[in-house]
Copies of this chain bind each other. A is one copy, B any other.
Amino acid sequence: MIYSSELIKGTLKTIVLKLLADNKKMYGYEITQRVKELTLDKIQITEGALYPTLHALEDDGLVTTETEYIGKRVRKYYSLSPSGKTKTKEKVSELADFMETMKFLLDIKTKTV
């Protein structure tokens, strides 16, 4: 089972930031594979979604990049900037809070008539 794409919307940025917080530096393709692994294929980030997101994080100054060559093939590593670290904490705790709220919403059985 793969989660419907609408669920990924809104969480992608947070997922990426969190992965970078836990791994110092990662490159795009690695991120897609790591998420796939960690979620047992239930979340598959497409490259069309990931690269624009990474570029946006860079434009916002939340990540810095360094290019590395593996043979002739280029790899672009992303790392959190100081403001990125702060932002990550905010986003992660907001999402955690949101999930608590959603859990509550989804469990309510009380028919308030």
A interface list, Cβ under 8 A from B: 1, 3-4, 6-11, 13-15, 18, 22-24, 34-35, 38-39, 42-43, 92, 94-99, 101-106, 108-113
Contact = CB atoms under 8 A, between A and B. Distances in A.
A46 B98 CA distance: 17
Contacts of A3: 94, 97-98, 101
Nearest to A11: B102
B102 A38 contact: no
Given A7-B98, A10-B7, A23-B112, A92 B104 contact: no
A10 B109 CA distance: 22
Contact of A9 (B10, B94, B113): B10
